[in-house]
Structure 1
Amino acid sequence: MPPFRPARLLAVALLAVLPGALLPATAAQAASRTVQGGRLDWGIKSSFQSYVTGPIAQGSWGLTGGAATVGGSQFRFHSATGSYDPASGAFRAGFSGGVRFTGHKKSDGSYELDLTISRPTVRIQGGSGTLYADMTSKERGSGRVTTAAQVPLATLGLSGIDMRGGTTPVALTNIPATLTAQGAKSFAGYYTAGTPLDPVSLSVDTTGPAAKPSTSPKPGNSAEPKKKSTAGRFEDAAVDWGVRRTFREYVTGSIGQGKWTLADGAQDGGALFRFPKGKGTYDPERKTLAATFAGSVRFTAHDGLDLKLSRFVVALKSGRGTLSADVLSDGKATRSVPLVTFAAKDFAPKNGLAVLTEAPATLTADGAKVFGSLYKAGTAMDPVSLAVATEAKAALPALPDLGSDASASPSPEPTGSPAAKAAPVPTAAEKDDGSRTGLYLALGGAGLLAAAAVTVLLLVRRNRPSPDAS
């Protein structure tokens, strides 16, 4: 073997790692992230909403799958899941919830117009974006019903938006949307391809790659005895109530121009509010409950409205329920006001959890006074959902995940050019402090590697035997 060959190999190895050392630190740090939680706000097409509910179609729309409204004309879809690659800007987020439009009621009770749009998904790749959705529609004239999953419904105008280099949350605001040819067909022919739709806004949370779950068995799982339900005792409880959809729309819409504020542990589920940490007594056999819940909601509007509801109480007895709350209105406080009543005939625990889902609720006479006679006694309010865990392992139903910084108000109205309407995620160039430092360190390290490689080569040449000496 020629002398000093190991040194020569070392020099080659040092030079080989130079390209990797010269890569910016941000390139090494960029990794695909998981979209987990977030919301999409979209009115689909405001003029279509007006047509459906107007004097011609004389119809209505309804929400499904936990979808909600925000402002006066936008629908909020929730619980985003998907992926985001900060290096390439590739983005995919699917949302839950849907909206069904019906109109032109026929003599047999069916509708000539019947359109459902649900599970919207936004995909962005290479600077172009598309909004997909599940579509069920009734064809005009023939009445033929078609159902299709993830129809490319609208193209998104992403001019001037760089999707690379974002972290969390990833937010896009008032992105122009245009109806596609396939979307027009699924829209039952009410609009042609190229028709402008309402702008789209979204905000999603992202997390790093999830760690692999441990495969080792958890000790003691099989040996733990199940706790039996005991009268008067429960582990946890929560009550969900949205007050009334039209009231929320009035508060945050163009008339009220206000907002709601949650405090003391209350949570926003989009179409409802959750009041958690229930405490009290529950008898599974008699199906009676007396529980007090944490959290408060305060509604304020420009017309002087200032209404706070807190310390919610649920009482169940003989298959009937009453939801009460402390009320603070215009500076006057009233304790334990019965707001709504609802039916609760079957409230027995199953697998350690007693659940009442969307029980229709009716406004009481005292409740009508709380709303300043805006609604009469007997008015249908938002339904009440209730969950009581009688065993420690029983989990309460999940709340729709709206992501971080969820707002009760709609996105600002678009102004200026399409690029100005969008709130792009930060690009790698905008986050220059950390990346420059990493680049400087990389260049310094690369310089040291290069110097080491040159030194080794010089030593090899200096100590290489000459032809005469051999």
Structure 2
Amino acid sequence: MPSSRSTRALAVALLAVLLGALLPAATAQAASRTVQGGRLDWGIKASFQSYVTGPIANGSWSLTGGAATVGGSQFRFHSATGSYDPDSGAFSSGFSGGVHFTGHKKADGSNELDLTISRPTIRISGGSGVLHADMVSKERGTGKVSNRSQVPLARLSLGGIDMKGGSTPIALTNVPTTLTAEGASAFAGYYTEGTPLDPVSLSVDTRGTAEPKPSAPDKKKDEGEKKDKAEKKDQEKAGRFEDAAVDWGVRRTFREYVTGSIGQGKWTLADGAQDGGALFRFPQGKGTYDAKKETLDAEFSGSIRFTGAHDLDLKFAAVTVAVAKGEGTLSADVTSEGKTTKNVPIVTFEAEDFTPEDGLAALTEAPAALTAEGSKAFGSMYKAGTAMDPVSLAVTVDEKAQLPALPDLGSEPTAAAEPTKKAAEKPSAAPAAASSDSGPGAGTWAAIGGGALILLGAVAAFFVLRRRSAQPAPEAADASAAPDSPQTS
């Protein structure tokens, strides 16, 4: 019969092996995840927008950094980056883009109201959340300008939302917000602490963290750099470039007209054009570029077609860009009412300082104005000289240089990602995952369940053996016999 000590040792060893096998599977979901891609929709405060553009302030607002509009009065910030801990529910994600409000124009041309809100960040921990943002504002009355980074602007009312246990996408919908004391100060004194702001909605993609792979030493680095420099000089002499792209959103109000209640239409991208939310990218530029003269003559792939009610049918294709003497012109083949006109100059834009840096020559959000020919292309909807969406242009003259990334809006949130929440609550969170990498699947849980049964069996066996070992052992007839061998007479 086994001794009490050996029985316990065997049971403990078995328990340790089983627990060691089961615990990693059960805790795998709790690993911290990286936020990569997504959007934040927030109107800041609808009544403030109305005030700015109304008869009192007689102002306007404009978008910067690739921000877009969505719905009736919301701004969409893009390219989420940050981190998320499914175990604690801690969440931190920054977004790109900004909004610039101006109003109360003075005789000298400046604006008494001048406020920029950009780079919003959502931080959630311990059941509470705050929206931070960079803010540049002109104080009401004094005109003093303040520039503050990541101001805690608004508190999020997260009552009932459980951020734990999510994977991808993570979504929050219509979360109420209120102005903080710091936000009231940075808001140029237009509102006081506790003032309700517009609700916040967001959706971000997450992925498991991956350790960076150590790069192997490059023994031929010096030789490669010399070769690259020589090729670069030859390339610049020849006027060639590696790649190029032009980004242009046409005009924000035109897009809103097309998809709104009047236009009831849409736009369609083709031939390689890409949608960046607030802009369209025409890629695969080909042509010539002179870094010394800062000139460019290039054609791009892609087309966009706007269709809608009231016989709306307008297409831009075969986009070209010419830059010379500090000014650029974007042209395109225009198709309207079944007729195509080739190489129509649509807008002109500022093109100062178009020299390459680290292999990339770039213009970012250069102000653009409609040409007389462009006005005709729009059916005289806009007059010549009307401000259109800015133009961004990028040309790589080095094979190692990369074009700026398009705004990353992330994946669309799905109904399957909506979590369980209290019925009385309007705001909702969607930390539940719909993707295949969202933690333990059915197979994992089946394995855990099977392991649990084995574990229970092991525990039962342990107690049975312990009970038997506690009983007095029968006297052996032969001291030399094995402990469990049958006795013979």
Residues 367-403 of structure 1: CA distance to partner in whole angstroms, max 9, x if unpaired?
2122111112232322322222222112223333332
Larger CA deviation: 281-290 vs 333-342: 281-290
Amino acid at match of 1:440: A
- Please tell me whether residue 281 in structure 1 is matched to residue 298 in structure 2: no
Q: Residue in 2 aligned with 1:440?
A: 446
Superposition map of 1:314-329 within 5 A = 314-317=321-324, 320-329=327-336
Larger CA deviation: 291-300 vs 450-459: 450-459
Amino acid at match of 1:400: P
CA RMSD, 1 decimal: 3.6
- Please tell me whether residue 247 in structure 1 is matched to residue 254 in structure 2: yes
CA contact (8 A) 1:157 1:418 kept: no
CA contact (8 A) 2:29 2:165 kept: no
Q: Residue in 2 aligned with 1:339?
A: 346
CA contact (8 A) 2:35 2:93 kept: yes
Instruction: Note the C-alpha offset of 1:291.
Output: 2.0
Residues 339-363 of structure 1: CA distance to partner in whole angstroms, max 9, x if unpaired?
1233546544444333233333332
Q: Residue in 1 aligned with 2:430?
A: 424
Larger CA deviation: 233-242 vs 93-102: 93-102
Instruction: Note the C-alpha offset of 1:442.
Output: 1.0
Instruction: Note the C-alpha offset of 1:236.
Output: 0.8
Q: Residue in 1 aligned with 2:359?
A: 352
Instruction: Note the C-alpha offset of 1:312.
Output: 1.3
- Please tell me whether residue 272 in structure 1 is matched to residue 279 in structure 2: yes
Q: Residue in 2 aligned with 1:65?
A: 65
Q: Residue in 2 aligned with 1:54?
A: 54
CA contact (8 A) 1:27 1:87 kept: no
Counterpart Cα distance in 2 of 1:116 and 1:286 = 35
- Please tell me whether residue 312 in structure 1 is matched to residue 328 in structure 2: no
Counterpart Cα distance in 2 of 1:203 and 1:369 = 40
Residues 15-72 of structure 1: CA distance to partner in whole angstroms, max 9, x if unpaired?
3466666769564333211111222121111111111122212223233333333344
Structure 1 length normalisation: TM-score?
A: 0.83
Counterpart Cα distance in 2 of 1:42 and 1:453 = 56
CA contact (8 A) 1:72 1:250 kept: no
Q: Residue in 2 aligned with 1:180?
A: 180
CA contact (8 A) 2:29 2:86 kept: no
Q: Residue in 2 aligned with 1:410?
A: none
Q: Residue in 1 aligned with 2:136?
A: 136
Instruction: Note the C-alpha offset of 1:364.
Output: 2.4
Is the partner of 1:294 in helix, strand or coil? Answer: coil
Superposition map of 1:402-417 within 5 A = 402-405=409-412
Cα distance change on mapping 1:239 and 1:23 into 2, 3 Å: same
Q: Residue in 1 aligned with 2:94?
A: 94
CA contact (8 A) 2:167 2:438 kept: no
Cα distance change on mapping 1:345 and 1:136 into 2, 3 Å: closer
Counterpart Cα distance in 2 of 1:167 and 1:215 = 30
Q: Residue in 1 aligned with 2:11?
A: 11
Counterpart Cα distance in 2 of 1:382 and 1:446 = 62
Counterpart Cα distance in 2 of 1:419 and 1:25 = 34
Question: How many equivalent pairs are there?
Answer: 457
Counterpart Cα distance in 2 of 1:432 and 1:338 = 50
Structure 2 length normalisation: TM-score?
A: 0.80
Residues 167-226 of structure 1: CA distance to partner in whole angstroms, max 9, x if unpaired?
222222332222234433332332233332222122212111022231432453332111
Q: Residue in 1 aligned with 2:32?
A: 32
Counterpart of 2:457 (choices 445, 451, 454) is 451
Instruction: Note the C-alpha offset of 1:121.
Output: 1.2
CA contact (8 A) 1:101 1:115 kept: yes
Counterpart Cα distance in 2 of 1:377 and 1:259 = 25
Q: Residue in 2 aligned with 1:150?
A: 150
Is the partner of 1:223 in helix, strand or coil? Answer: helix
Counterpart of 2:387 (choices 338, 355, 380) is 380
Counterpart Cα distance in 2 of 1:108 and 1:324 = 36
Counterpart Cα distance in 2 of 1:223 and 1:151 = 48
Amino acid at match of 2:252: R
Residues 135-194 of structure 1: CA distance to partner in whole angstroms, max 9, x if unpaired?
333443344444443333222233454433332222223322222344333323322333
Q: Higher RCO, 1 or 2 (CA under 8 Å, sep at least 6)?
A: 1
CA contact (8 A) 1:22 1:443 kept: no
CA contact (8 A) 1:152 1:183 kept: yes
Cα distance change on mapping 1:405 and 1:223 into 2, 3 Å: farther
CA contact (8 A) 1:92 1:121 kept: yes
Counterpart Cα distance in 2 of 1:187 and 1:284 = 43
- Please tell me whether residue 197 in structure 1 is matched to residue 197 in structure 2: yes
CA contact (8 A) 2:169 2:433 kept: no
Counterpart Cα distance in 2 of 1:357 and 1:98 = 14
Q: Residue in 1 aligned with 2:486?
A: none
Unaligned 5+ segments in structure 1 are 407-416
Q: Residue in 2 aligned with 1:412?
A: none
The percentage of aligned residue pairs carrying the same residue is: 68
Counterpart Cα distance in 1 of 2:386 and 2:396 = 31
- Please tell me whether residue 163 in structure 1 is matched to residue 163 in structure 2: yes
Higher-Rg member (1/2)? 2
Counterpart of 2:370 (choices 347, 363, 366) is 363
Amino acid at match of 2:154: A
Q: Residue in 2 aligned with 1:413?
A: none
